[in-house]
Amino acid sequence: MDVTPTMVAGEYEWVREREDVVVPLVNAVREDLGALFGLDVGSVDAAQYRAVVDETFADGDRAVNVAALVALLRDLDVDGDYPGFVVDEVLGRELAGTIAGGQPLRLLGEATFHFADIHTHGDDDEAAGADDLDAALAAGVQERVPGWGWTEEPSPFAVEAAVERADR
Q: ω into residue 146 within 30 of 0, thus cis?
A: no
pLDDT tens-place string over residues 38-88: 989 999 999 999 999 999 999 999 999 999 999 998 888 777 656 657 788
The whole-angstrom separation of Cα 68 and Cα 11 is 8
Q: How far apart are the first and last CA of the chain?
A: 46
H-type helices in the chain, by residue range?
5-16, 19-37, 46-58, 60-75, 85-100, 105-117, 130-144, 160-167
Identify the CA nearest to 15 among candidates 61, 71, 88.
71
Under a CB-based contact definition with an 8 Å cutoff, are residues 18 and 24 in contact?
A: no
Residue 57: count other Cβ atoms within 10 Å of its Cβ. Answer: 20
pTM: 0.88
pLDDT tens-place string over residues 115-154: 998 877 666 666 666 678 999 999 999 999 888 877 777 7
Quote the number of domains for the chain: 1
Domain extent for 56: 5-167
The whole-angstrom separation of Cα 168 and Cα 97 is 31
Under a CB-based contact definition with an 8 Å cutoff, are residues 73 and 12 in contact?
A: no
